[in-house]
Chain A
């Protein structure tokens, strides 16, 4: 049983347009059985934060190619991508490099 986590989720490069134009979201993830990783965070974001056109942000169970993910200012590719286990007070940043956001 994982305890509730407080995580800062940030969007940039146009990705925020899909989230009502709000860049920074301070969110509290509820406690659940399995530990929180990026994969489950994405599902949670899709359900709770995403306002429109989920296909422009999420593809399959990952983010769309062209959207960079930084966890605590480090490339997520260094941290195991979807399998990275979130810690309390982590910050996750999504930057869209797609043309026109």
Chain B
């Protein structure tokens, strides 16, 4: 993965006049169970390589997902005015969070805000707090299958990239996906039940986040070309073991698909390009009968428009819902009480929750009963992510920003519903008074 990014980098430098690229390196060693010494060593290598490239760069550790504001998951509209406001909000939230962290004595985020186009004045990167590393390890060890682990890693990485891009004012994120990888990803995503989002997940540009567009400039090149290019131009590369390194072929759907595609490719050399061309023909169309509006619900994790149709219970989703049902029954009736719709006590709680943001809300969340957040989170996921989350033994170890956003969204929906009830009543009353 990394050498593609580096290769992209060597191309970027030729185009520096047209745009100012920055490089983000997401350090995910903790998810793979690597020791801090190993990670520091790799990080130093990466830093040296990036430094020699002379571009501004940011290095973030995957642990930082535990410090992300929930606004990362919100769809920001493309209108510059609205986007700016929301973005500033996000930045302010982030800075405040950093200050809070700093005063608490914990090490702050190792990504100072840089002015674009200047070589990075970044000092030595401090390792992330041990507590966050622990939380991350706990999260990944609670995932039962490698497939789900890889998906989760990808999701968290995307959120982190999005956050870095927003806080540093980048409008584009360039991914290093090659044509071979995209062909593999296409088939993998199909197998994972993410067929509805193929055009977003594998297309050239991905506008699902609104303000930050993800582009894949490397998609015209095969992995072989990239590898040969790197070899012939002696592009410096740093190798980082990933979560699936040395895993057997059938360990995850990702691995299996990779082996399948490459094996086919070995016998029929046009396999990859055929699959890839197919992905090119996919059109990002909204669902039939639905207007493409920003207000339509988005998946909490992959941020795509929700594809789940609750009314259509004859589909696979219907089966899923019945699977989830037993888990929704709490061990004690108290646990479900706060989430029950309607009733003045629940309303009061909603309001307090909506007003609160930041650490206090997180504390509030952690005090929730164990079974509490699960249905809320699951309801806000697309089909592919739901299937994935089934492999999580518990949702508690998820980063707080996901849980709090889920909480916020469900409360918002609930409040909207309540307001609507009142509105109808009001209008009826008005009607009656008007008539009398």
- A interface vs B, CB < 8 Å? 12-14, 16-18, 52-53, 55-56, 64-66, 68, 70, 73, 75, 93, 95, 97-101
Extra contacts besides A68-B227, A101-B241 (17): CB < 8 Å: A13-B237, A14-B239, A53-B246, A55-B248, A64-B262, A65-B259, A65-B266, A66-B258, A97-B180, A98-B262, A99-B184, A99-B244, A99-B255, A100-B241, A100-B243, A100-B244, A100-B247
CB atoms of A99 and B227 under 8 A apart: no
CB atoms of B241 and A98 under 8 A apart: no
Closest 4 interchain pairs by CB? A100-B242, A65-B262, A100-B245, A66-B262
- Cβ of B420 within 8 Å of any chain A Cβ, yes or no, is no
Would you list 13 pairs from A and B whose C-beta atoms are within 8 A, ordered by A residue?
A52-B246, A53-B246, A56-B249, A64-B262, A66-B258, A66-B262, A75-B228, A98-B262, A100-B241, A100-B243, A100-B244, A101-B242, A101-B246
How many chain B residues have a CB neighbour from A under 8 Å?
31
A73 to B232, CA, bound (A): 8
Set B3, B184, B262: member contacting A13, Cβ < 8 A: B3
Smallest distance from the beta carbon of A75 to chain B beta carbons, Å? 7
Smallest distance from the beta carbon of A15 to chain B beta carbons, Å? 10
Q: What B residues does A95 contact at CB under 8 A?
A: 227, 231
A70 to B231, CA, bound (A): 10
Contact A98-B258, Cβ < 8 Å, known A13-B3, A13-B227:
yes
Q: What A residues does B228 contact at CB under 8 A?
A: 68, 70, 75
CB atoms of B223 and A97 under 8 A apart: yes
Q: What B residues does A68 contact at CB under 8 A?
A: 224, 227-228
- Cβ of B44 within 8 Å of any chain A Cβ, yes or no, is no
A93 to B224, CA, bound (A): 13
Q: What A residues does B224 contact at CB under 8 A?
A: 68, 97
Q: What A residues does B255 contact at CB under 8 A?
A: 99
- Cβ of B263 within 8 Å of any chain A Cβ, yes or no, is yes
Determine the residue in chain B with the shortest Cβ distance to A100.
B242
CB atoms of B263 and A65 under 8 A apart: yes
Q: Which of B216-269 contact A (CB under 8 A)?
A: 223-224, 226-228, 231-232, 237, 239, 241-249, 254-255, 258-259, 262-263, 265-266
Q: What A residues does B283 contact at CB under 8 A?
A: none
Contact A17-B1, Cβ < 8 Å, known A66-B262, A98-B258:
no
Smallest distance from the beta carbon of A77 to chain B beta carbons, Å? 10
CB atoms of A97 and B227 under 8 A apart: yes
Q: What A residues does B184 contact at CB under 8 A?
A: 99
- Cβ of B58 within 8 Å of any chain A Cβ, yes or no, is no
- Cβ of B181 within 8 Å of any chain A Cβ, yes or no, is yes
- Residue picked from A52, A64, A66, A93, most chain B C-beta under 10 Å: A66
Determine the residue in chain A with the shortest Cβ distance to B4.
A97
Q: What B residues does A55 contact at CB under 8 A?
A: 248-249
A18 to B258, CA, bound (A): 19
Contact A93-B180, Cβ < 8 Å, known A65-B259, A66-B262:
no
Q: What A residues does B259 contact at CB under 8 A?
A: 64-66
- Residue picked from A16, A55, A66, A99, most chain B C-beta under 10 Å: A99
A56 to B254, CA, bound (A): 15
Q: What A residues does B249 contact at CB under 8 A?
A: 55-56
Q: What A residues does B246 contact at CB under 8 A?
A: 17-18, 52-53, 56, 101
Contact A101-B239, Cβ < 8 Å, known A65-B266, A68-B224, A68-B227:
yes
A16 to B245, CA, bound (A): 12
